[in-house]
Amino acid sequence: MARELTEKDAFAAHADAELHLDPDALTNPWQAAGASAVAFTTGSVLPLVAILLPPASVRVAVTFVVVVAALAATGYLSAWLGGARPGRAVLRLVLGGAVAMVVTYGIGALVGTAVG
């Protein structure tokens, strides 16, 4: 029986019998890598523009607001695409992102680096 199962495609037979996975239904790693590259590049444009365009006196505040808005939009979109309620997804991303930005800003202020 084992020989018959593994004769054609041993990997597919093992994946199905042991792991209950269909190898044809798995995500292509090249497509996943490409999608990640596009998503990260696209996601970096808003903060980059927000830090480069405004006057120096309001850069940090503008960037914070733009990034929080982008995180809220991302949370809503991911919930909508996943068929979930958007409230928790938006809250999770906004709170997590805001805390990360505040901590990062605080560490930079403690270290005393200046960008100019």
Mean pLDDT of the chain: 86
Check whether 87 has a pLDDT greater than 60: yes
Is the overall model pTM greater than 0.75, yes or no? no
Q: What average pLDDT does the segment 103-111 reach?
A: 91
- Other Cβ atoms less than 10 A from the Cβ of 67: the count is 20
Of the candidates 67, 30, 65, the one whose C-alpha atom is nearest the C-alpha of residue 47 is: 67
Domain boundary assignment for the chain: 1-43, 54-116
CA distance 63 to 56: 11
Instruction: Find all residues with CB under 8 Å of 68, minimum gap 6, and list them.
Output: 94, 97, 98
Of the candidates 59, 65, 60, the one whose C-alpha atom is nearest the C-alpha of residue 98 is: 65
Per residue in 35-66, pLDDT (tens digit) is: 888 888 888 898 999 999 999 999 999 999 99
